[in-house]
Structure 1
Amino acid sequence: MGSLSLRTRFASSRAIFLFLLLMALLTGCEAKSEEAASASPPPPPEVEVAEVTAQPVVLSESFTGRVEAAETVELRSRVSGYIQEVAFEEGELVEQGDLLFLIDPRPYQARVNAAQADLAQARSQQAQAGSEAERARVLLGRQAISQEVHDQRQSALSNSRAMVDAAEAALQTAELDLEYTRITAPVSGRVGRAMVTRGNLANADQSLLTTLVTIDPIHVYFEADEQAAFASQTLLTGDASNSLNIELGGDPQRQYKGTLDFIDNRLNPNTGTLQFRAVLDNPDGRIRPGEFARVEMPVARLDQALLVDGKAVLTDQDRRYVYVVDENNLAQRR
């Protein structure tokens, strides 16, 4: 009897426990259903809308270029001799006419002195020949000498004049050679390093002494493909259209305004490109030849172009699109 009562109590307790668990599950489902029913959908996201305007616009393309000096000079000596002085600091700015190198002038000064002496001698001989020719003319009028003697003295006078001319030319040559011992800057600009230093021999027309480049203005050369080149030439007519935006060294902080001043007269047959040149003001000399440049050049003009903020343009694989709000205030992809 005791065992039977125990089993009965255990079965009753189990039934009560299952009943309570079922009631808890049903209550939880009903609560979740009520929460789901009471939750409202989220509001639509707020987006900025901009009105698209149509107006004339000029399209530009970017081209790669290089900065070059307007004038580049390779200084070579015109006479041979030993460098006596290097009269500049390498890399400094120099003015036209400044002394850069001095070749030992003493041998050339001696040649000038010798040429001056030869000229003085030739002039003395000319004066004597002139006196004899004049005396012969008077004597011939008195029939005191023969015509042959008269002609000989006139010929001697002509020869003496030629000797004077030759002596004067030799003196000018010697003076030029002496002047060439002073090598000066032919243009204003920035000088490079001295390739021949003091005490070394400079050979005439062979030894490169240094290089000199002008700095203001400075040029930017770039090349455009055939299609862009011919499209741009229809726009590059006035001074305003010739203005170009130029970025140097890939640095957005180094933006300059240049002016197109040269278009080559033929296409490069190897590359199919046409060369252009822009001019930049460079009064402080900060722009140096050899720098990399990006040039923005106009290539087309549109009379009615739709201008859209760049932030609204999206990309999907190989095409770009925007969302347009229609009359029902709905966004459509285009």
Structure 2
Amino acid sequence: MKNKYIYCIAALSLIIFASCKSKSGKQNAAPPPTPVSVAEVKKADALYYDKYQGQVIALNSVELRSQVAGFITGIFFKEGEVVTKGTPLYEIDRRKFVAAYEQAKANVASANANLVKAQKDVDRYNMLLKNDAVARQTVDQAVAAYATSKSQVQVAQAGLASAATDLSYATIKAPFTGRIGISQVKLGAQVTPGTTLLNTISTGNPIGVDVVINEQDINRFYKLQNHSTDTTFKLQLSDGTLYNKTGKVFAIDRGISGNTGTIKVRIQFNNDKDVLKDGMSCVLQVLNDDSGNRIQIPYKAITEQMGEFFVFVSKDTVAEQRKVTLGPRIQSNVVIMNGLQAGDKIITEGFQRLRDGGKITLGAPPTAGKDGKAAPARK
């Protein structure tokens, strides 16, 4: 009876051992290779641009203010139109300025008449002095009177010039050819010299775009000032469209801001169609120095881990995870600055569950089913 129990226990132990061994074998079995899709790394032309927020600015803009006091008696332009240099724009009541000018002319005429009389007196007394017919003191007095009359002529002429200037200031003319804005005063308005803003006039072609750059980029823009091409500068308007004219560096500010470490750069654009308006916002695109024949791969092949970027490279039947440095995106591709070489084969699909050194096989990667789980790959 005792031997019977021993045989039963031994048989049961063998069954349990076989079961455990079977389970252990299943657990230690290697997972099947992951089906993936690969693509060969190639070089391609890559033109990409650095972007700077900019603002359209007129290269020449002037605020019109009166230099004499008075009331507006004439406005001779249509608001918003282009006016040519020298065109009368505003007129301030001219009557008192005309009167002052005429009085100044009369003063000049009177001073000239006194000068002529003084000159004749000097000539007459000098002749009499030769014949000892007049005292020397009288001659000296005549010469002094002549000098006084001559200085009075100069004073009168200066007064005439001042009156002529005031009269000219009564008519405000366009200082250059440009577009004039909406008038800030109406007929009959009183203006104060140097204070009352009448209007603003600015040039529109060519026109500038101001951007602010970091001091680290200064040398780059100094080089572009002398060696830019038609593809160096592009302008993106606020509606997302690209402006169809090319630009060039017009000016770089004199110094760097001590508070921000930045400097202003002005880019000039042709604006013959009057598309760009003073004050518009835009984005200046500057051709990147690294543009050229660069390695590009599909952006979907990139994985990110803790701020670093990786791709899986196919090494026969093994996936090798490799760290890469990204450049700018170009449509669906991305430029790789470091980490890959032309000819490498990268995994573009099926890498979501891969680890470095994982087994792979070429084929259609599993697709997600209705339940969200990956469907088995076709054999």
Please state which band the TM-score falls in when normalised by the shorter chain.
Answer: 0.7 to 0.9
CA RMSD of aligned residues (A): 2.9
Q: CA distance change for structure 1 residues 298 and 332 in 2, over 3 Å: closer, same or farther?
A: closer
Report the equivalent of 2:165.
176
Q: Does residue 138 of the first structure (1) align with residue 127 of the second (2)? A: yes
Structure 2 unaligned runs (5+)?
A: 1-34, 320-344, 349-379
How many residue pairs align between the two structures? 288
Tell me how far apart the structure 1 counterparts of residues 298 and 36 of structure 2 sit (CA, whole Å): 21
Q: CA distance change for structure 1 residues 111 and 233 in 2, over 3 Å: closer, same or farther?
A: closer
SS of corresponding position for 1:128? helix
Tell me how far apart the structure 2 counterparts of residues 198 and 66 of structure 1 sit (CA, whole Å): 34
Report the equivalent of 2:55.
66
Structure with higher helix content: 1
Report the equivalent of 2:201.
212
For residues 121-153 of structure 1, the C-alpha deviation after alignment (integer angstroms, 9 at most, x for no partner) is: 111111111111100010111111111111100
Equivalent residue in structure 1 for 2:302, among 314, 320, 328: 314
For residues 170-194 of structure 1, the C-alpha deviation after alignment (integer angstroms, 9 at most, x for no partner) is: 1111111111111011011111111
Report the equivalent of 1:116.
105
Tell me how far apart the structure 1 counterparts of residues 246 and 278 of structure 2 sit (CA, whole Å): 17
Tell me how far apart the structure 2 counterparts of residues 63 and 118 of structure 1 sit (CA, whole Å): 63
SS of corresponding position for 2:289? strand
Q: CA distance change for structure 1 residues 191 and 60 in 2, over 3 Å: closer, same or farther?
A: same
TM-score of the aligned structures, taking structure 1 as reference length: 0.76
Q: What percentage of aligned pairs have identical amino acids?
A: 27
Q: Report deviation, 1:222.
A: 0.6
Report the equivalent of 1:53.
43
TM-score of the aligned structures, taking structure 2 as reference length: 0.68
Report the equivalent of 2:264.
275
Q: Report deviation, 1:301.
A: 3.9
- Return 320-329 or 258-267, whichever deviates more: 320-329
Report the equivalent of 2:89.
100
Report the equivalent of 1:163.
152
Tell me how far apart the structure 2 counterparts of residues 151 and 193 of structure 1 sit (CA, whole Å): 65
- Return 226-235 or 292-301, whichever deviates more: 226-235
Q: CA distance change for structure 1 residues 206 and 233 in 2, over 3 Å: closer, same or farther?
A: closer
Q: Report deviation, 1:232.
A: 4.9
For residues 195-228 of structure 1, the C-alpha deviation after alignment (integer angstroms, 9 at most, x for no partner) is: 1210111112221111111111111111112333
Tell me how far apart the structure 2 counterparts of residues 224 and 313 of structure 1 sit (CA, whole Å): 33
Report the equivalent of 1:34.
none
Tell me how far apart the structure 1 counterparts of residues 192 and 119 of structure 2 sit (CA, whole Å): 44
Tell me how far apart the structure 2 counterparts of residues 168 and 236 of structure 1 sit (CA, whole Å): 51
Equivalent residue in structure 1 for 2:177, among 188, 192, 197: 188
